[in-house]
Structure 1
Amino acid sequence: MSIFPTPPSGTSARAMTIPPHAVRPSPVPRGTSALVSAVLADPASADRVWAGVRRLGTPVVEGAGPVRDVTFWHRGEAARVAVVINKLVDDTTYRDALLDRLPGTDLWALTLRLGSGWRGSYALAVDDGAPPRLPEATLAELEQRRVRARSVTDPARHAAVDAWYDLQRHMRPDPLARETTDLGPHGRGGSVGSGPDAPAPRAWPAAPRGRIVPVRHGTRRAWWHVPDADPGPEGWDVLVLLDGDRWGDVHGPGAGAQLDAWAAAGVLRPTATLLLAHGGLAERVADLTCNPALVDDVVALLDASPEAIGAVTRSPERTAIAGQSLGGLTALYAQCVAPDRFGASVCHSGAFWWPNAVGGEPAEWLTRMIAGSGTRLGRVHLEVGTGEWVLLDPTRRLRDVLETRCDAFSYAEFDGGHDAACWEITLPTALAFALGEQRRDGPGQRAGRTADSTARSTAQAPASATPTHG
C-alpha cells in the first residue's frame, strides 16, 4: 500500500456524505410538438394520434438539428402525471415536468427540448389513486433519500422536497418505451429515451456462458465471474466491479451475461471479474466514501482467490477497478492507495464533490489530495454527463489535475444525467481502455482526452466515450 492521506471523518459524517442538493441551474427546457398541436386543434383526432404514438414508441422525437422536441405521452384517468428523468428535474422544477392533459381527451403530453445526442432512463409518475406499484424496498429507499434531502436543504425547500418524493412514489415504466434497461429506475424493464444521435446499445453476439463463484471475506459478499475461455499461461486479467451485483446479475439465470458477451466480442481479454455487493443505501454510502477498509477487503479477496477460478494476475498493469457515482470516487481512491494492486480505474459520474461542505469539511477531498501528494497513477478513465450539474465542474477540475499524473488518461462527457442507461453504453469501451489495451501499448503512453472539444461547450453536443491515443 502507498502512503496516502487519511480521508476525513468530520463532525457531521451523515451530512458530509449526502450529495449537495444544488438547485438546477436552468429551467426545464419545454418544447412544442406537431402531434400535440393536432390534438389541441381537433380533440376528435386523439385516437388517431395515439395510434401513431403507439406505432412510433415513446418518447416521440420531432424536428431536426442538434436540439429536438421530445414528447412523453400517457393515456388514462389520473390526478396528475409527470415524467421523472434524473438530472432534468428536481424538487424545485418538478412542476415543469408535469404532463398536460389535452382538453377533451384522456391524453397527457409533455414536450421537452433535448439534445439530439441525449440519452436517459425515465419513468412516468402516474397519480391515479391506485397504491404505488414500486417494490417495498424501493419505497423505503425513496423515504431514506427524502430524509437525506431535507437534512441538507434550506427549510424553505422542505415542502417541495416532500412533494417531489411523494410524486416519485407513483413511478412506473412507460409501456410504450422503445427501449428498456435492467439498470433503470425500476431495475428490470426501466424505460429509456434517446435522441437520434445518441449512442445506441450494441447488439452483442451470443457467447459461451461463464461461471459465477461466490466468495466472502468476513461479512463482505462478492462473486467471481470466470469466462468460458482459456486464461493463458499468465493467468486471468482481473477486473473489480463495484456495485458488481448490479452489473453481473449474480442471482439471475443470465448471471454474467454482459461480461460473457464483452469477452466473446473481443472487447476484453480473458478476464476474471470480482463483483462486489454493497447492501442498502446506508451500507453503500459507508462502503464507497474513500473507505480504506473496503480497499483492504478487496485486496484480501484478490489475494485469496479460490482455486476453482484458476490463477489470477497480481500485476497492477493487468488489474483494473471500475465504479459509478460513489463507486467512481472509490475506484480512483483505491488506485491511489493501492497502486501496487490497481493499475487502472474507470470512473463513471464519480461523486468527486465528496465530502459535502455542509458536513464541516472542504469539498473535493480526493482531487485536493491527488494534487498535493505527488501521486502518480497508471491508467485512468473519467466520464461525466453534461447534465450532471453537481458533478460536471468537480470532474473537470479533477481532469485537469490527472492529465499530468497518469501514464495513460482518457476523458469523456456524454449528453445525459447521473444515469446507468448512459454508463452501460460506454462501460465496455472504457474497460477496453483500462484492460484490453494494457499489453498493447504498455506503461508510459498517454491517451488523448476523449471529447475534449466538448469539455467546455454546450450540453447539446454529443460526446463519444471512445478513448483516443496521442
Structure 2
Amino acid sequence: MPLTAPPPVGTTRRPPRITRPEPVERAESAWVAEAVGSGDFWGAVRAAGGSPVVEADPAGDPAYRVVTFLWRGTAKTRAVLCMPNKIVDPRDMGHNLMEHVPGTDVWHWSVRMRDDWRATYGFHVDEGGAPQGEGAAYWPWLRSRPQRADPLNTRTLSRRWGGEPVSYVELPEAPRGGDWQRRDGVARGTVSEHVVRSGILGNERRVHVYEPSGGGEDLPLLVLMDGEMWQPGLDVAALLDNLIAEGRIPPLLALLPESIDSDVRWDELACSERFVGFLERELLPWAGERWSVTRDPARTVVAGQSLGGLTAAFAAVSAPERFGLVLAQSGSFWWPDGPDLESSEWLTGRIEAAERLPVRFWLSVGEQEWVALPAARRLRDVLVEKGYADAAYREYNGGHDYLCWRTELADGLVELLK
C-alpha cells in the first residue's frame, strides 16, 4: 500500500504544548551551605573544580547525584532562571528559578538526577526592565533575555545557528564524547564546502562533504541533515576519522546539506516530498558525478535529529530503493500536532498502513523529552508490529540535545554499517 500524501507545507510550526508529567526533583545542597559558611564561597567553587557542583545523593542511592548550578549575581540581579535542556517546563518556569543567598552574590539551584544524566544549559538573568506587575507576561520576558553560558564551567558545545557556545554537564556514568576528540596519528579525511542548486526546491544551499583519507571506490554514503551544525560546528569529520581508523565503520562519503534558516527548515523537514526529491534526484546524483559512491540502499544511511530525524525516516519510506538505513534521533514523530492521534503522528500512521519495506531503522530518544518520547515509543511499537525485526530503539537520560546526539550518532553509525 503506497503512502498517502503528507499534510501540506506549513501545517505545523511548533511541537505539541504538553505539560511535563512530573517536575524534576529539587534538592538541598549541603555543599552550598558549607561553602557559604566558609566566608570564601567563590574560592570554594574554584577549589571544587567550578560549576555545577556534583554531590553524593543525600538519600544514599549510589545511582543518583545532587547537581547544583551556580550564578554570581550583581547588585542589579533580580532573578536568575537556570535552563538545562528539557529540565524546564515552559508552563512552570518558576520551578527553575534560582535561590538567592541573602546578603551575598550567590544564586543556586539544585536538582537530584540519575548519575547517567547529561545536558547543555544556560541562564536567563533579570537585571531590571521587566514588565510591570506580576503575571504571565514576566516569564516570556525573562526567557527573552539573552541566554548566558556558565562562566564557572569550561566545558562548552557549539550553539545551533551560531552565537555564544553553551555550557554542559555530564554526570559520572553519562556517555562521553571521546570519539569526537581529534587524535594524533589518525589519518584525516578532507572536508570541502559546495553550493548545490535545487531546481525542485527553487533554492540553493551549502553542502559540506566529508571524504575519507585515501578516498576509495564504491563508498558507503551518509546523508546527515542540518549539516551546518555538524560541520564545522561540531566537527563530525573528527568522529568519522576516529571511527574509520578504529575499524568501527568502513570508509564512507558524508553529505551534510545545511538547513538555510529556521523557516526553510520547517518547510523542508516536515515530511516534504519535494525535499526528498532533492535528496534522491539532485543531491545524490550530484555526489555520484564527483565521487565513487554506492547506489546500494543497504549501504546508504540517511540521518537526522528532531525534524531531521522525521525527514530521515520519511525519506527511507518514500524512496526505499535509495535510502535503506535510517538513523533518526529524537525524531519529531509527533508531527503534525493535532488534538488526537487521528490528526497527529502522520508518518507513524502511514508506516502502519503500508507493507513492510526493505529498510533498517535505528532510533533513539531522550528520557527527558516528554513531548517526543511518547510518539517515538509508538513508532517503535508499530515497527515491531509490522515485522521490522532488525529495527533498533533505545532511550538515554538526556534531552533534545546535541550533547546527547553526538554520542548517539556514533553508536547508530557503528550499528547500521557494521
| Bucket of the pairwise TM-score, normalised by the shorter protein | 0.7 to 0.9
Q: Classify 1:92/1:341 alpha carbon distance in 2 versus 1 (closer, same or farther; 3 Å).
A: same
Shifted more, 334-343 versus 241-250: the winner is: 241-250
Identity %: 36
1:314 maps to amino acid: R
Over 3 Å counting, the alpha-carbon distance change for 1:121 and 1:7 in structure 2 is same
CA contact (8 A) 1:100 1:109 kept: yes
- How far apart, CA to CA, are the structure 2 residues paired with 1:407 and 1:96? 42
Structure 2 CA distance for partners of 1:52 and 1:318, relative to 1, 3 Å? same
Q: How big is the shift at 1:410?
A: 1.0
Q: What is the match of residue 71 of structure 2?
A: 74
User: When the two structures are superposed, what TM-score results if normalisation uses the length of structure 1?
Assistant: 0.78
| Distance in 2 of aligned mates of 1:334 and 1:46 | 60
Q: Map 1:40-439 onto structure 2 (within 5 A).
A: 42=37, 45-47=38-40, 49-55=41-47, 56-64=49-57, 65-77=62-74, 78-129=77-128, 160=136, 163-164=139-140, 166-183=142-159, 189-203=165-179, 204=181, 205-206=183-184, 207=186, 208-218=188-198, 219-233=203-217, 235-249=218-232, 256-299=237-280, 300-305=282-287, 307-308=289-290, 310-357=291-338, 362-403=343-384, 404-406=386-388, 408-435=390-417, 437=418
Deviations 1:372-428 (A, max 9, x none): 111324221010111111111111111011124436211110011111111112211
Aligned length: 397
- Alpha-carbon distance in structure 1 between the residues aligned to 2:301 and 2:247: 17
* Cα RMSD, aligned residues only: 2.6
Unaligned runs of 5+ in 2: none
Q: CA deviation at 1:3?
A: 3.6
Q: 1:84 to 1:186 in 2, by over 3 A?
A: farther
Query: Which residue type is aligned with residue 88 of structure 2?
Result: V
Does the residue aligned with 1:172 lie in a helix, a strand or coil? Answer: coil
Long gaps (5+) in structure 1:
132-158, 438-470
Structure 2 vs 1, CA of residues 46 and 6 (structure 1 numbering), >3 Å: closer, same or farther? Answer: farther
- The alpha-carbon distance between structure 1 residues 111 and 409, as it changes in their structure 2 partners (threshold 3 A), is same
CA deviation map 1:35-64 (0-9, x unaligned): 222256x3xx242x3222223222111114
SS in 2 for 1:332: helix
State the Cα distance separating 1:170 from its structure 2 match: 2.9
Evaluate the alpha carbon distance shift between residue 318 and residue 236 of structure 1 in structure 2; reply closer, same or farther with a 3 A threshold: same
SS state of the match for residue 346, structure 1? strand
Give a deviation string over 1:215-234, Cα, whole Å, max 9, x none.
Answer: 4132231424233424444x
User: Counterparts of 1:114 and 1:230 in 2: how far apart (Å)?
Assistant: 45
Shift of residue 130 of structure 1? 9.8
User: What is the distance in 1 between the residues matched to 2:261 and 2:204?
Assistant: 13
How many Å apart are 1:432 and its aligned residue? Answer: 1.4
Pick closer, same or farther for the CA change 1:312–1:188 going to 2, 3 Å.
Answer: farther
SS of equivalent residue, structure 2 residue 86? coil
1:3-22 alignment runs, 5 A limit: 3-9=2-8, 13-14=10-11, 16-22=12-18
Residues in 1 aligned to 2:215 and 2:331: alpha-carbon distance in whole angstroms = 31
Aligned partner of residue 405 in structure 2, secondary structure: helix
CA distance, structure 1, for counterparts of residue 175 and residue 84 of structure 2: 18
TM-score by length of 2: 0.87
Letter paired with 2:71: H
Q: What SS does the aligned partner of 2:391 have? A: strand
Q: Which residue of 2 aligns with 1:147?
A: none
Q: Give me the whole-angstrom Cα distance separating, in 2, the residues matched to 1:34 and 1:185.
A: 38
In 1: Cα distance, 2:236 partner to 2:398 partner: 28
C-alpha distance in 2, partners of 1:420/1:366? 24
Task: Determine if contact 2:125/2:142 at 8 Å carries over to the other structure.
Answer: no
**Aligned residue type for 1:240:** V
**Distance in 2 between residues matched to 1:285 and 1:184, nearest whole Å:** 15
- Comparing 426-435 with 380-389, greater Cα deviation is found at 426-435
